[in-house]
Amino acid sequence: MTDHTLPPSTRGIAFILVGMAAISINDLLIKQLSGGYPLHEIVLIRSVIGICLSLVLVHFEGGLSILKTTQPFMHLLRGLLVVVSNMAFFVALAAAPLADVTALFFAAPLFITLLSIPLLGEKVGMLRIGAVFAGFVGVLIMQRPWDSGETLETSRAVLLLPVLAALAYALMQLLTRKLGATTKASALAVYIQAMFIPVSLGFYLVAGDGAMAENLDSPALFFLLRAWSMPSAYDWLFLFGLGVNTTVIGYCLSQAYRLSSAATVAPFEYIGLPLAVFWGWLLWSDIPDWEVWVGMALIMGSGLFVYFREKQKQRQIARTRVKLPY
């Protein structure tokens, strides 16, 4: 069976799984580089490589003509949401364990399920609403509201950054669902990379000399504002890997949300959770605290319930549409 004979929902799930594997590699590479380079320098190099590779995909999907759009402001908004999501996530990543940041970011599928009601007109029943609520309880537990700010290993402001990233990401993917009806996945990927380049250059003009990073105690802010430096030959390999990864991510995620409904695709993003725990343990010996395990269980459990409930509703609707022979 070829790819084109598979149902759109199946192809959407396949693309989201590949995209999430690429995201996990992307996150560990950025965390690895965060000790030597500012975030905006990493993002600029990644995006320049990514946009070149994305233009190759554009060539195979129809040529430069597919970059023309009648909805430039919608694409601009989508690009800004991606920038906010990435920056918030990666700044948190420099100051907190990979598994913690990733688990909090996985509030995104919960936001997608909720926001798909007013923005896409999708129907979500009370059982799925209840599951989403349980997932947000997991997010709350991971915020450790019972601890004072002095006893937290990671500041609460940093812990809120992945949640902000999740909300921006959810809005971006819902826009992808709308725009994907008329725009190829490769074009969507190019628009995203093109958005990162001027933002990164803007950070360079403001903070590239590192003056704003002097005397900063926050690892997150230092990662955002530290001075630029020339990458070593070894680190160029990581940066090139980031460029390849960002192309795979942009294409696969855009394709996934073009081909399938948000409620069907979003739960499969949870494959990123065990991958984050694995990489964090393997590379930095990070073992999540009990709050993170409980939060991950609630978030993942709620997302999987939403998915299976969605599939059950789809089967019920399909049965009601079957015409009886009498």
What is the C-alpha to C-alpha distance for residues 44 and 46, in angstroms, rounded to an integer? 5
What is the C-alpha to C-alpha distance for residues 3 and 7, in angstroms, rounded to an integer? 9
Domains in the chain, number: 1
C-alpha of 261 from chain center: 17
Domain assignment present for residue 18? The answer is no
Q: How many CA atoms lie within 13 A of 178 on its CB side?
A: 16
Domain assignment present for residue 154? The answer is yes
Is pTM beyond 0.85? Reply is no
Q: How many CA atoms lie within 13 A of 48 on its CB side?
A: 10
Domain assignment present for residue 68? The answer is yes
pLDDT of residue 164: 95
Phi and psi dihedrals of 144, rounded to 5? Answer: 50, 60
Domain assignment present for residue 91? The answer is yes
Domain assignment present for residue 6? The answer is no
Domain assignment present for residue 143? The answer is yes
Place of tokens 């920056």: 87
pLDDT of residue 326: 33
> Which domain range does residue 44 map to?
30-320
What is the C-alpha to C-alpha distance for residues 280 and 287, in angstroms, rounded to an integer? 8
Which residues of the chain are under the pLDDT cut of 50?
A: 1-2, 321-326
Domain assignment present for residue 134? The answer is yes
pLDDT of residue 95: 86
